[in-house]
Amino acid sequence: MNDVVKESREEGSSDLLLNINKLKVLIVGEEGVLKRLKDILKTAPQTNITVVAQSISADVKHWASSQPNISLQERLYQNDDLQNADVLLVASSQSAFVKKWFNTHVTWD
């Protein structure tokens, strides 16, 4: 494969491992975002992450203020946000929202 995507070498596993240290991650939404940020930076501390959410909690703002590679943008998602991202995470557990969001905001070229 390459230095970004690797196959798991465990027997019986079909997992792919993604090295996101070299990628730009976009998180849209705020649900569970603090845990996601911490999890990503724990395993890939050099990852550049942008969070776009209509509302960002004080806890997220406080924690992210000490992380130079996290950008918080408290606003609605804009279509061109994806232009600067390699990986997209939608931070919402509401499947109807996610489906509607993808249908209205993502175009596949």
CB 63, CB 37: distance < 8 Å: yes
Report CA-CA distances (Å) from 35 to 2, 8, 31: 28, 24, 9
Q: How many domains, in total, are found in the chain?
A: 1
**Whether the model pTM is above 0.85:** no
Residue with tokens 């109807």: 96
- Domain boundaries, position 83: 21-105
Q: pLDDT digits over 66-80, tens only?
A: 999 999 999 988 878
For the domain that residue 39 is a member of, what is the CATH number?
3.40.50.720
Q: pLDDT digits over 42-59, tens only?
A: 989 999 999 999 899 999
pLDDT the model gives residue 50: 96
Rounded CA-CA distance 31/18 in Å is 23
Residue 11, domain member (yes or no): no
Residue 6, domain member (yes or no): no
